[in-house]
Amino acid sequence: MAGSPKSIGSFKHSLQSSDAFIENAGQYGLKMTAFEDMGNILYGYEGLGMPVLFTSKGLIHLHRKVENISHHEEEKLEKQGLPEEEIERKRKVTDRVIIMEWLNSNPDVKIISEEQTADYHTYGTLKENAYGYKKIPLQSGIQNII
């Protein structure tokens, strides 16, 4: 049926060759602010426009809307000598979060990475490379979710 939602299985099979679950090497932070109860962020998937973060307790899907100031306003501020960092802070950033928590799962769930991709990801000033994986099955009371 056209327009119907995809199942997790369909999502898994729709991954392109360059898509991967990326290990958290610090690019996502240790925990999601205001959602620390979800546990440490272990992996992220960046193929949907906004990252989906994976913890041992569930998923965190980030949605960010950035409203830049007008080009005219930016030029005006530059002419006033305002530093670029200050001009950047004039942007309006709105974050929304969707949380999905595994219900009735083993609190000691482990996410195992499988099938490392050939490439790796770098993030600004982070010294470590973040490697991607094709699969990150959960070992728990739940049969391999992804």
Task: Please give the distance of CA 58 from its chain centroid, rounded to a whole number.
Answer: 13
Residue 98: which of 58, 138, 45 has the closest Cα? Answer: 58
Least confident segment among 9-18, 26-35, 61-70, 73-82: 9-18
pLDDT in tens, 46-99: 877 788 999 888 899 988 888 888 888 888 888 988 888 888 888 888 888 999
Q: How does residue 141 score in pLDDT terms, banded at 50, 70 and 90?
A: low
CB-based contact 31:20 (threshold 8 Å): no
For β-strands 114-121 and 58-67, DSSP reports them as unpaired
pTM of the shown model: 0.67
Higher per-residue pLDDT: 49 or 24: 24
Specify the pLDDT at position 11. 43
Listing from the earlier edge strand, what are the strands of the sheet with 58-67? 92-101, 58-67, 52-55, 41-45, 21-23, 130-135, 114-121
| Token pair for 129 | 């490379």
Specify the pLDDT at position 7. 40
Specify the pLDDT at position 16. 47
CB-based contact 20:133 (threshold 8 Å): yes
* Residue 105 pLDDT exceeds 90: no
Give the whole-angstrom CA distance, residue 48 versus residue 51.
7
Residue 48: which of 15, 17, 1 has the closest Cα? Answer: 15
pLDDT in tens, 106-140: 777 778 888 998 888 888 888 888 999 998 887 76
